[in-house]
Each structure stands twice: as structure tokens, then as C-alpha cells.
């Protein structure tokens, strides 16, 4: 007889106690999962967090380049090697473990890229959401020697990054909108890193898309973009104003005497 193991339900707590423990948390649900040492996947509007015994072991977001991009963009790992490992693995973390086992990747380089990708995607996953998160119990990815991160550490780093961006340039529109270059009267000096970002501003790409094109962390690209915005060198593509409402057409009034005559003739013919 086959036994089916049912995952444990999320614990029900006193609401007042739960609110006290999660006060100030970016995601109260994530904080409760950390306290319960849960293992599974938390899906939020802008990203996904993988937990193992209440710690974050992996993060993904459509706004942040993945581990594969960070490893292959600058020659740390050959693209073909990653593709071979990914074809044999269940996910990015498992592919990284296979590369370590095959000695195709230094352990220190992988740890650094893993943490960079985790904090980068975690920043977006913990951004304000208009929909509730969903958690499902699942087996944790096999990370081998790769480090995990406490939830509280990810939240603190996310808050630090939000504050830094706000200090650089308080308008968050440059984080997600397509960017366009400005034409200032005096060109402000830029660093080579910022020049690479500015050269890819074409009115179509957003900051996360530029980061993926450059093979850089998305958050670091947001920093460059906000500094360039503060210098007046770029900004979000202006949104087109909504067209004014069309006034209702006035009722049609027949004033042509010929039309009135034809109507009288039609009525007379119908009466015959």
C-alpha cells in the first residue's frame, strides 16, 4: 500500500500575537514561515523565494538576472558548460551543484554569484505587492556548500537598498519604465560603468532589461540609473496623456424642406 505524505498545514496563531511578531516585516507571511522553519516556495507578485527550514536558499524574479547570467556574462563560466549542466538539473541551484562536482567552477566564485543573485532577486520579490503571497510546501533545492540567508538579513538588506535609492533620486519611475536619454545644456561627467548603462538607453529598454543585457545585478543598475536621473541625463519615457472625452453628439434634427416633403409623399402613398 502506498502512503501519501501530506504536508503539514500552516499553523494557526493568535492574531494579536502574530501581529506583534511580524510588526515592521516586509512580508509578515515570510516572517512567520521563518519562525516555523518551513521548507517550500513563497510566490509573490514580483518574485519567488525558496525556503529551507525557514532560511532563504534561492530567489528568482523576472526583474533580476539569474545565476546563469551572472556566471556566464563575464567569463566566469562558459555558456555551453552552464547549458549542459542545466539540461541535467532540476533548477539553477542544482545546475550549480553539478558544476561544482565537475570542478568547472571555483566554489568561491559560485558562492559570491549565488548570494548576489539571491539578494538581487530578493529585493524585487519583497517589493510592495498588490496581491497576497502564496506558499506551498516543497522539497528544498540541493545546494551543497552554497550558503543560505536568514529572512531577517534579507529584509534588512532590502530596506537598506530602498533607502539608498531614495536618497539618490526619489522618483521610482526610473526603476521599471522604459528609459530615454535627456539632452541637458551641460553634459555631466559619468563613470565608465554609468556610460555603459547610458549607451543602452534607447527609449525601449527598462533598467532591469539593461542589467540583463550587461550581465549585471539589477539593483546595481538601478543605482546607476538613479544617479544618471539625478544628473539630468535620463528619465522615464513620458506617458501619453489620456485623450479628452468626446462630447455626446447632439440629436439629429431634420430641417431640410426636401426631406420633409419626401416624408409627406411617403405617408400619402402608404395611405392609398
The structural domains of the chain, with segments of one domain joined by +, span 26-167, 169-236
Per-residue pLDDT for 185 more than 80? no
Region 108-117: what's the mean pLDDT? Answer: 91
The DSSP letter of residue 204 is: S
Per-residue pLDDT for 180 more than 60? yes
| Average pLDDT score over the chain | 84
Per-residue pLDDT for 249 more than 80? no
**How crowded is residue 174: how many other Cβ atoms within 10 Å of its Cβ?**
20
Per-residue burial over 2-11, b if 16 or more Cβ lie within 10 Å, else e, is eeeeeeeeee
Q: What percent of the chain has pLDDT above 70?
A: 77
Nearest-angstrom CA–CA distance, 221 and 208: 7
Region 90-107: what's the mean pLDDT? Answer: 82
Dump pLDDT digits (tens) for 54-76. 999 999 999 999 999 998 988 88
Confidence of residue 2 (pLDDT cuts 50, 70, 90): very low
Residue of 145 and 128 predicted with greater confidence: 128
Q: Which helix (H) or strand (E) holds 56?
A: strand 55-60
Amino acid at each position: 500500500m502506498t502512503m501519501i505524505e501530506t504536508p503539514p498545514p500552516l499553523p494557526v496563531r493568535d492574531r494579536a500575537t502574530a501581529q506583534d511578531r511580524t510588526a515592521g516585516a516586509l512580508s509578515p507571511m515570510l516572517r512567520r514561515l521563518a519562525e516555523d522553519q518551513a521548507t517550500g516556495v513563497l510566490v509573490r507578485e514580483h518574485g519567488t523565494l525558496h525556503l529551507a527550514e525557514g532560511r532563504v536558499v534561492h530567489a528568482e524574479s523576472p526583474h533580476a538576472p539569474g545565476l546563469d547570467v551572472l556566471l556566464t556574462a563575464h567569463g566566469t563560466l562558459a555558456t555551453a558548460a552552464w547549458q549542459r549542466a542545466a539540461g541535467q538539473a532540476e533548477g539553477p541551484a542544482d545546475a550549480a551543484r553539478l558544476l561544482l562536482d565537475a570542478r568547472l567552477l571555483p566554489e568561491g566564485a559560485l558562492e559570491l554569484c549565488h548570494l548576489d543573485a539571491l539578494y538581487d532577486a530578493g529585493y524585487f520579490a519583497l517589493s510592495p505587492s498588490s496581491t497576497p503571497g502564496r506558499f506551498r510546501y516543497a522539497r528544498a533545492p540541493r545546494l551543497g556548500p552554497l550558503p543560505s540567508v536568514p529572512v531577517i538579513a534579507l529584509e534588512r538588506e532590502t530596506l537598506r537598498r530602498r533607502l539608498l535609492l531614495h536618497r539618490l533620486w526619489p522618483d521610482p519611475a526610473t526603476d521599471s519604465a522604459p528609459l530615454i536619454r535627456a539632452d541637458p545644456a551641460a553634459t555631466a561627467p559619468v563613470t565608465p560603468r554609468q556610460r555603459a548603462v547610458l549607451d543602452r538607453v534607447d527609449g525601449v529598454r527598462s533598467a532591469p532589461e539593461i542589467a540583463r543585457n550587461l550581465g549585471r545585478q539589477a539593483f546595481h543598475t538601478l543605482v546607476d540609473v538613479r544617479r544618471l536621473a539625478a544628473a539630468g541625463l535620463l528619465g522615464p519615457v513620458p506617458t501619453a496623456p489620456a485623450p479628452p472625452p468626446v462630447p455626446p453628439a447632439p440629436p439629429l434634427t431634420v430641417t431640410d424642406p426636401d426631406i420633409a416633403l419626401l416624408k409627406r409623399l411617403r405617408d400619402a402613398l402608404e395611405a392609398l
